[in-house]
Amino acid sequence: MGAAFMRDNRLQSGQRYPMTIQDLPDSELYGTLDRSGFIGGLSLLYREFALQVGDELDITYDGSAIHITPPSNRRVRPNSEISQPAGADGNLRPVFERQNLRHMHIEPYAPGNLGNWQPQTEVDVYMVFGALSEYTDYRYCCGVSQTLIDALGYRAATRPDAFLIERATGQYIVAEFKMNSRSFALNHSKEDVDVLICWEDDEPDRSKLPPQVLGLRALRERAVKEGEIDI
């Protein structure tokens, strides 16, 4: 969007805005604006228009939504010069169409949308940790592969999820990610893990858990209350 556009239209970084794209009236788009003037949520724009460096888009804001008008001559149409590799059956339709899945809105992840979006799986917990890690004592290092475990000589009945780096000491920390802390003891031992990263810390028996537990829901609420993040 650019700093001038944000200033002139009083747009706020960290806010999530509805967007429309001309010639795509049925699209329901939302994007989170960052401090640099970049906005997400526009994968449909790139998919439907063959944009190139130097192309100009007309962008306006009417007080409720951001409206984008891309160059009409860049619209990707059937049988266009842009080719896509066909699958084995020649069917390029996405799974949602092939299986005729129900039409419903699925809230998409965005760092500035943690007020509306809720994690569904452990993968989502990783995403939330990435968005909030600067407010924690840890930096993400890498996932734990069998090759890395063998090289380190790490021994545990169940492989953990990741290695983190403790900010204060620079030490490597063994981490496990879970949706809920109560599920940790089902397949992990607290002696094998330094920190449990979870969305909901709901295990009353703390003797089952590693010495450090980070509940991301509580962290999000505290960061919002203290004005560190705006969602």
- The residues, any chain, with a CB within 8 Å of residue 96's CB and separated by 6 or more, are none
Averaged confidence pLDDT in the chain: 84
The pLDDT, as a whole number, for residue 82 is 43
Model's pTM, two decimal places? 0.62
- The residues, any chain, with a CB within 8 Å of residue 185's CB and separated by 6 or more, are 203, 208, 209
The pair of structure tokens assigned to 121 is 């799986």
Q: pLDDT tens-digit profile of 10-59?
A: 888 878 888 888 877 666 788 888 776 778 777 777 777 877 777 888 89
Q: To the nearest 10°, the Cα dihedral for 79, 80, 81, 86?
A: -50
pLDDT of residue 213 exceeding 60, the answer is: yes
Q: pLDDT tens-digit profile of 49-76?
A: 877 777 888 899 998 888 888 887 777 6
Domain ranges of the chain: 3-105, 113-225
What is d(CA 4, CA 31) in angstroms, rounded to the nearest whole number? 18
The pLDDT, as a whole number, for residue 118 is 85
